[in-house]
A and B are shown apart, each in its own frame.
Chain A
């Protein structure tokens, strides 16, 4: 009787290990393959787990603020905004209008920066090496504004509980308007490079389809939900920080495949530039900090506040026991919840599609693992 060798096996388990250029961080995906077709995946995460939620219980409310930047380190300002909004909700204060407008400007600039980094690395994974350079060139411009404002490029610590740390520097409005004007033709340039490119379309269309019902079932939010056809954006549904004053659209598409998500994010970049321009043109005067005591001691209670981060719904559930230290800070990370849908999206696809889908999920492991 002939012996069966490994060549007779139909199922192969392949490890796309934590050190892999296409997994956008330390993500390990164990693939079960039949030839090159994927039968199932199992994500192993936790390589970047730093225990931020435990650290929060051992620092004061104000001291935890710099740690929050390290969650989604690509768009650090959004995390800071969500945390400050959550603590302000507990304290029942609202930042003054000038602070809200500057917060909106910086968050939108960061959203542009995050989508630019996403576009560059996603294109790089697919094989298009050029967009990375142009995207990082523009990201550099947005980071320069942040650097001039708060002093750091990546881990910005840009907001404080109750408002802003300092007045915007002289020339802030001019810089933001110049950036918005410079940026819009560049988006057209990226579209020229990629949107009609037959290789791009071939690699991305009908890959990783996630319908609207599946998105809601898996709790997927952000551009992925909008590409599936659900016109939902927290900035419009539950507005925060003065977003209801600005006029912008929510781009949606219908198919819910990777190509649609690309188009949605490109449109979002344009809308973000539009919001930033409106906010910079109409920057109100006034104080930059609400009446918050130096030692922040919210009354006993809890609150859940979420914002529309570039990756999806980023929420902070904060529990206070009346002291200066948080009792519990829970981060609801968009990338963690979106990553669950990976298994659903790559059933029956090829390995190259797994790479495309991980790219389109736009995960940042800092957020997934905390």
Chain B
């Protein structure tokens, strides 16, 4: 799904190949989001101006697309001013065909307003986003898992090491180029003393 303004970048799913008949090729399918009209959206736009790229909603769930350097300041603002004190999740999605291949998603919830929003940003491979640990302590393990699975390093994280996979594992499994049945053969052979893990 495109997170930049629609006209510039097509979505990651490949465009339909030109069919042999004379019908024109279909444009790639995109997420049918609608712009969000709410107090929070206007407040954020007023506070952060064009660093909030989009405020939209899809199937009734609102999300904000922001510039990658501003994510932590927006999350901090949300926690301090707008009472979004519970960080639900941090995750990433890999779109290998895009230049900015990772979608980094933060989901926050406010107990007082009973509202849950998503903050999305896109980052290229090799970019080191700022860590959210100083704002929410939950981010500690959540960011470690994103690092483990995707290889996105977080600058300022107190203890960035692999969490689900062994420390010496090479490769980041949830990237799309990592095959499903691949394992780090060196690690398996040295540590488990077997030929293959399967």
Contact = CB atoms under 8 A, between A and B. Distances in A.
A and B touch in the complex (CB under 8 A): yes
A303 interface: yes
Contact of A45 (B94, B118, B164): B164
A337 B138 contact: yes
Given A92-B59, A218-B138, A315 B89 contact: yes
Given A51-B173, A238-B116, A300 B31 contact: yes
A219 B86 contact: yes
A219 B107 contact: no
Contact-residue bracket for chain B: 35 or more
Contacts of B32: 299-301
Interface stretch (A144-152, A259-267, A321-329): A321-329
A216 B1 contact: no
A54 B173 contact: yes
Contacts of A317: 89, 91, 105, 107
Nearest to B173: A54
A330 B137 contact: no
A237 B102 CA distance: 32
A336 B141 contact: yes
Interface in B119-138: 136-138
B61 interface: yes
Contact-residue bracket for chain A: 35 or more
A288 B33 CA distance: 30
A90 B59 contact: yes
A230 interface: yes
Given A300-B31, A304-B107, A370-B164, 6 more contacts: A49-B164, A216-B111, A319-B1, A323-B13, A332-B107, A340-B138
A188 B165 CA distance: 44
B104 to A, nearest CB: 12
A278 B91 CA distance: 38
Contacts of B86: 216, 219
B70 interface: no
Contacts of A58: 180
* Dominant secondary structure of chain B at its interface with chain A: loop
B164 A219 contact: no
A315 B59 contact: no
Nearest to B178: A54
Interface in A45-85: 45-46, 49, 51, 53-55, 57-58
Given A46-B165, A54-B174, A330-B89, A300 B138 contact: no
A285 interface: no
B182 to A, nearest CB: 10
A303 B58 contact: yes
Contacts of B178: 54
- List 7 tightest A-B contacts by C-beta distance, closest first: A219-B138, A46-B164, A332-B89, A321-B13, A301-B31, A330-B91, A49-B164
A225 to B, nearest CB: 9
Contacts of B176: 57
A23 interface: no
A337 B145 CA distance: 11
Interface of A: 45-46, 49, 51, 53-55, 57-58, 89-90, 92, 216-219, 230, 232, 237-238, 299-304, 306, 313, 315, 317, 319, 321-323, 327-328, 330, 332, 336-337, 339-340, 369-370
A232 B107 CA distance: 18
B127 to A, nearest CB: 19
A319 B164 contact: no
Contact of B166 (A46, A217, A327, A340): A46
A369 B164 contact: yes
Given A53-B174, A301-B1, A319 B93 contact: yes
B29 A300 contact: yes
A328 B120 CA distance: 15
B13 A322 contact: yes
Nearest to B63: A302
Interface in B89-111: 89, 91, 93-94, 105, 107, 111
Nearest to A303: B59
B74 interface: no
Nearest to B183: A51
Contacts of B72: none
Contact of B59 (A45, A301, A328): A301
B61 A303 contact: yes
B160 interface: no
26 contacts: A45-B163, A45-B164, A46-B164, A49-B164, A54-B173, A54-B178, A58-B180, A89-B59, A216-B85, A218-B138, A219-B136, A300-B1, A300-B30, A300-B32, A301-B58, A302-B1, A304-B118, A315-B107, A317-B91, A319-B1, A319-B93, A327-B93, A328-B94, A332-B89, A336-B141, A340-B140
